Amino acid sequence: MREPSEYAFISPDGQIYKGKNIRRFAVEHGLDQANMQHVHCGDRVHHKGWRALEEWSLGVGNDK
């Protein structure tokens, strides 16, 4: 089993959410996990108004 992915999303109202485990995040916010994974990977621009934090997806500020 692989480790949960780190994520950084911007909500439709502009609030930033960072953490690990996209699946759990999607369930807690009533979102589709697969679509949020596509947003996280850059395959989709948004899902229900949720977007990936651009700096995070470019590796800026990502403490890996």
pLDDT in tens, 10-61: 999 999 999 999 999 999 999 999 999 999 999 999 999 999 997 655 454 4
Judge whether residue 62 has pLDDT over 50: no
CA distance 45 to 32: 14
Q: How would CATH label the architecture of 6-57?
A: Orthogonal Bundle (1.10)
Q: Name residues whose C-beta falls within 8 Å of residue 24's C-beta, 6 or more positions apart in sequence.
A: 4
Rounded to a whole number of angstroms, the distance between the first and last alpha carbons of the chain is 19
Residue 57: the pLDDT is 53
> For the chain, which residues make up each domain, given as ranges?
6-57
